Amino acid sequence: MSNIASNVSMPSTEASADNKATDHAVGNRSDHVVEVRRLSKSFDEVEVLRDIDLEVSSGDVVTILGSSGSGKSTLLRCINWLEKPDRGTIHISGQRIGIDENSRKPMSQKALAKMRAKTAMVFQSFNLWPHLTVLNNVTEAPIHVQGKKREEAEALALSFLEKVGMAHKRDAYPFTLSGGQKQRVAIARALAMQPEVILFDEPTSALDPELVGEVLGVIKSLSAEGYTMVIVTHEMDFARAVSDQVVFLEKGLLIEKADPETFFTQPKTDRVKRFLEKQH
Amino acid sequence: MTNWDIVWDSRDLLWQGFLNTLSLFSVAIALAFLLGCLIVYRLEDPKTRWRLPLRSFIDIMRMLPFLVLVYLLYYGLPSAGIRLEAWWAGLIGLTFYHGAYFAEILRGCRVTLSNGQIEAAYAHGFTPSRMFIRLILPQLMIQARPLIGNQLVYALKDTAFLFIITVKDLTWAANSISATYFVPTEAFVAVIGFYWLISLVMEMAIRYAGRFGHKRGFDHV
């Protein structure tokens, strides 16, 4: 399953123009579900991401680690264009997101929505739709975005609710659920899109400690089934157990990228060494 | 023959007035609500060029007394070469006036919706318009239901002004019975009964909608 990309976060030697970065990657594009090239992003004057390169192969789990404010959530949110990067390119299964390849202008809302539907996201604060039942939260996008028939979408939704252990709550409304249950429904909602990659933005950070396990358990089982996932997390043991690749962000720079064994036992940089020491 | 008998004999007139009030009111609030939704949808886009005109429209309507607006439409517009029938002037007045209020009510509730669920919708491939219809609007309606109910009652009562511009509504009927036979008390009490009936039905509808919200945990409004 592991397929560690060789080109680490060093800015590529090519010129910074977007089209060059695009051309560069054409050769192995098909292997990568997500390909981020020379991504930079500033909020006001503060640069939160600088020249990030990241590639995620099909079936891989990539975790993004780093201290608070290192830019890891922003990186994740750029992948589905919830944040608009200032520079760089992002491709999902070979197709560029956010910018129309022909006109070089921002994509139409419709085209962007279509690209986003190839991905799904699980948020820190769950973000279920409160006026819909558990089942309808999961069927909403398949029916109204993907145009699936209701019966088909419900059968699919139930199978995913089953997988996360929430099928018995199909008719409950979100406000009656615990945080862990809400997050498991949110995971089922993401799975129901049958996305090419699932993005997890600190999925356990808003949970009571005793509820963290049930959510991590579900994500672990998904990794065993070969789902492609990018996970921002603070759970080190989990990251070590579940990842095919770990990347570490520090002040907007991707300073380390390695398989979990190497990352946790022989970190290359002092910064990561200190980070890991503080975790225990 | 008592005064009440006189009113009873004029029941056709009252019934006509009732039907006129009801039809004008129903069409107007449906259009006003639609207008309110459209304005709020337009304001969803933070960079829209519509922001200033729409905000100004809402503010002007809220500052204007309804009767003045109706006077302008019915007596003022002819000087600009636009002559409206009383019924149409009434409909347009009610629609724009209460449309602005509906927009303000919905916009107020929109601010309280969490941004997270909006992001979740985008992340799952919703376009802005589809998201508004499927996810935002239903929640706004659930959350704003007491305010919407209030506004409906105001709109109903505002229809009574329209008799001044010769719309043959309930109040017109009562006024005409009262003027013909000099039975003001009975005529107007009868009309109150009709207004009360419409209000009662709306009240029940809003309460029913309340159960809908309660089931979903929307009780913090």
Q: Are A118 and A195 in contact (CB under 8 A)?
A: yes
Using the CB atoms, write b or e for B85-100: b if 16+ within 10 Å: ebbebbbbbbbbbbbb
**B218 touching chain A per CB within 8 A:** yes
d(CA A245, CA A258): 6
The amino acid sitting at B31 is L
What pLDDT band is residue B155 in, cutting at 50, 70 and 90? Answer: very high
Q: Are B113 and B136 in contact (CB under 8 A)?
A: yes
Q: How far is C-alpha A85 from the chain's CA centre?
A: 16
Strand A245-250 relative to strand A253-258: parallel, antiparallel, unpaired? Answer: antiparallel
The amino acid sitting at B182 is F
Q: Which residues pair with A40 in a beta bridge?
A: A87
Searching chain B, which residue's CA lies closest to the CA of residue A139?
A: B124
Strand (E) or helix (H) holding A232 = strand A229-232
Q: How far is B132 from chain A (nearest CA, A)?
A: 12
A193 closest CA partner among A99, A122, A111: A122
Domains of chain B plus CATH, in order, are 3-215 (1.10.3720.10)
Predicted confidence (pLDDT) per residue in A52-71, tens digit: 999 999 999 999 999 988 99
Q: Is the pLDDT confidence value at A18 over 50?
A: no
Q: Are A211 and A180 in contact (CB under 8 A)?
A: yes
**Residue carrying structure tokens 């006129």:** B20
Classified as helix, coil or strand, A245 is strand
Residue A2 pLDDT: 42
What value does the mean pLDDT of chain B take? 93
Q: What residues of A are in contact with residue B127 (Cβ under 8 Å)? A: 109-110, 113
What is the total residue count of chain B? 221
Predicted ipTM? 0.86
Predicted confidence (pLDDT) per residue in A173-232, tens digit: 999 999 999 999 999 999 999 999 999 999 999 999 999 999 999 999 999 999 999 999
Q: What residues of A are in contact with residue B117 (Cβ under 8 Å)? A: 127-130
The amino acid sitting at A265 is T
The amino acid sitting at A2 is S
Searching chain A, which residue's CA lies closest to the CA of residue B115?
A: A127
Q: Is the pLDDT confidence value at B201 over 70?
A: yes
Residue B220 pLDDT: 57
Searching chain B, which residue's CA lies closest to the CA of residue A124?
A: B116
DSSP for residue B72: I
Strand (E) or helix (H) holding A129 = none
Question: Max CA-CA distance within chain A?
Answer: 55
Per-position DSSP letters for A155-211, written without gaps between them: HHHHHHHHHTT-GGGTT--GGGS-HHHHHHHHHHHHHHT--SEEEEESTTTTS-HHH
Residues 6+ apart with CB under 8 A from B48: B42
Strand A229-232 relative to strand A197-201: parallel, antiparallel, unpaired? Answer: parallel
d(CA A100, CA A119): 18
d(CA A186, CA A184): 5
Q: Is the pLDDT confidence value at A7 over 50?
A: no
Q: Is the pLDDT confidence value at A123 over 90?
A: yes
Q: Is the pLDDT confidence value at A1 over 60?
A: no
Residues 6+ apart with CB under 8 A from A158: A135, A167, A170
d(CA A187, CA A181): 10
B39 closest CA partner among B112, B91, B95, B106: B106
d(CA A247, CA A257): 4
For chain B, positions 3-32, list CB contacts with chain A under 8 A: none
What pLDDT band is residue A17 in, cutting at 50, 70 and 90? Answer: very low
Q: How far is B216 from chain A (nearest CA, A)?
A: 6
Q: Is the dihedral of CA A204, A208, A212, A215 positive or negative?
A: negative
Judge: B116–A127 Cβ closer than 8 Å, yes or no. Answer: yes
